[in-house]
Structure 1
Amino acid sequence: MKALLVDDEKPARDELKFILEEIGVDIVGEADNFKSAVKAAQLKEPDVIFLDIELGGENGFDILENLRKKRITSDVVFVTAYSNYAVKAFEVNAKDYVLKPFSPDRIKFTIEKLNSKLKEKNKKLDIYKITVTNNGRIYLIDIRDAYYFYANGRNIFVKTADNEYMVENTLKELEDRFYGLNYMRTHKSYLVNIDKVNEVIPWFNGTYMLKFKDISDEVPVSRNYAKKFKDEVLK
């Protein structure tokens, strides 16, 4: 699970970061104000945003409203020293409301709850079938036959052994939907079916290049994703 931390107090971010990393959460970014929070959410596409409510004159609810207008669908957990915002937090569909100072057990409970909801959501879907288009025609493909998904501008495509199709979903939505399957984000523009990879080539500055069975395409593993890739795939 990837998390973005938004709090104007660095000690609070550091404490939360330590707790989350101890339970295996990948911290993909930090922000201390409205502008940097929205930018980080757009660039990093976190699964969850831990969002403070009072940020030095700015407001966490305003940040959430802006994120939703930009169609950023990350789950939001409010973290605050104040209990009086709880009702409003759940009215705007926050996934949880955690009071400071942080308790490791309380944070672990939140992460377990988020993971459980994601798994339950996927059980209700036929996660192996996805609707795609090509030249105006609609097809259903099995994602186990896909090699990778990639972004080209605003469009998302999927590569199979014999063709390439356009997909309506964002990479973030696909990543969430494939949770628990052997798919991994290797770059901000690529989501890869690890089962189709047959060669990992060390590249520059700790990055990698991936080659696949049966097709000649190569896909990068960028620096932002290299550590997770190494820990989970090259272990």
Structure 2
Amino acid sequence: MKQIDVLVVDDERYAREELVHLLGDFKHIRVVGEAESGEDAIVKSLTLKPDIVFLDIEMPKMNGMEAAKVLQELKKAPLIIFATAYPQFAADAFRLEALDYLLKPYEEEQLQETISRVEKRLFTADEQTIVAKGKLSIETEGEIHYLNPADILYLSREDKFTKIFTADKEYHVRATLKDLEARLAGFEFFRIHKSYVVNLSYVKMLTPWFNGAYQLKLEGKEEALAVSRNYVKALRSKLEL
């Protein structure tokens, strides 16, 4: 899967730094530049030619909405993702055919969903379906194990470790959940919560819980896993014919 070039635009330096930091967790995302105004966003888009512009709305002089209208007229027009603390601008944002609308402070789950939309828009079906080979190498207790991804039921992040569960074993590794998720991208794994990534092949049952969240059961495991409401729709889309 090719790199996705991103320009981050916000008049507040700390807001830019936060988003750049969060985007650093995504393997295929490359932040090629930052801009602190609408005018600066247009100039840098002409030179850097980003695929995506994360665009703040409330900025002095030229605001994000005005900048987006100009950006959409460029020969290589980037996709626009508005990032703002003000939900009242959502309707106007989608009238401009923005790909997504992120609210500050950023939530990991919401950003994950946004990046998934980006990949679906930019990549063809063939590019999205990676032919994965080999085994997942993990280091634990001084030993290197090679796991067949098809044998992994799910992964869970707890404190400073990520747990990898197979039908009969449990491995504790220091690699982050995002890193392992990226390495397993060519297989049938799906994030259902900020702390869980599951192998869709083992999903057995999905049960409504509360506040739009669900609980998920996997074959070979008694305990139910929490499914955040932000992931429910995408999960059902993945599972259902």
TM-score scaled to structure 1, two decimals? Answer: 0.57
Structure 1 runs, 4 residues or longer, greater than 6 Å off: none
3-state SS, counterpart of residue 210 of structure 1: strand
In structure 2, the partner of 1:100 is 68
In structure 2, the partner of 1:160 is 166
In structure 2, the partner of 1:17 is none
Aligned partner letter, 1:85 = K
- Comparing 183-192 with 172-181, which one deviates more in the overlay? 172-181
3-state SS, counterpart of residue 181 of structure 1: coil
8 Å contact from structure 2 (residues 130, 186) kept in 1: no
What is the CA–CA distance in structure 1 between the aligned matches of 2:12 and 2:212, rounded to whole Å?
A: 40
Aligned partner letter, 1:190 = Y
> Offset at 1:204?
1.9
Residues 69-91 of structure 1: CA deviation (Å, up to 9, x unaligned): x964461376855443359858x
Are residues 153 and 59 of structure 1, via their aligned partners in 2, closer, same or farther at CA, if it must alter by over 3 Å?
closer
8 Å contact from structure 2 (residues 192, 231) kept in 1: yes
TM-align CA RMSD: 4.2
8 Å contact from structure 2 (residues 203, 216) kept in 1: yes
In structure 1, the partner of 2:203 is 197
What is the CA–CA distance in structure 1 between the aligned matches of 2:232 and 2:160, rounded to whole Å?
A: 24
Residues 159-178 of structure 1: CA deviation (Å, up to 9, x unaligned): 00111112343222233333
3-state SS, counterpart of residue 211 of structure 2: helix
8 Å contact from structure 1 (residues 122, 177) kept in 2: no
1:63 aligns with 2:17: yes
8 Å contact from structure 2 (residues 156, 162) kept in 1: yes
| Aligned residue-pair number | 178
Instruction: Map residues 1-235 of structure 1 onto 2, 5 A cutoff.
Output: 51-53=7-9, 55-56=10-11, 58=13, 63=17, 67=21, 72-73=25-26, 75=29, 76=31, 81=39, 82-85=41-44, 96=51, 100-101=68-69, 102-103=71-72, 106-107=78-79, 111=119, 115=123, 119=127, 126=133, 128-234=134-240
What is the CA–CA distance in structure 2 between the aligned matches of 1:199 and 1:97, rounded to whole Å?
A: 37
Aligned partner letter, 1:84 = V
Query: Please, which runs of 5 or more residues in structure 1 have no aligned partner?
Result: 1-46
Query: What is the percentage of aligned positions where both structures have the same residue?
Result: 26
- Comparing 164-173 with 182-191, which one deviates more in the overlay? 164-173
8 Å contact from structure 1 (residues 50, 77) kept in 2: yes
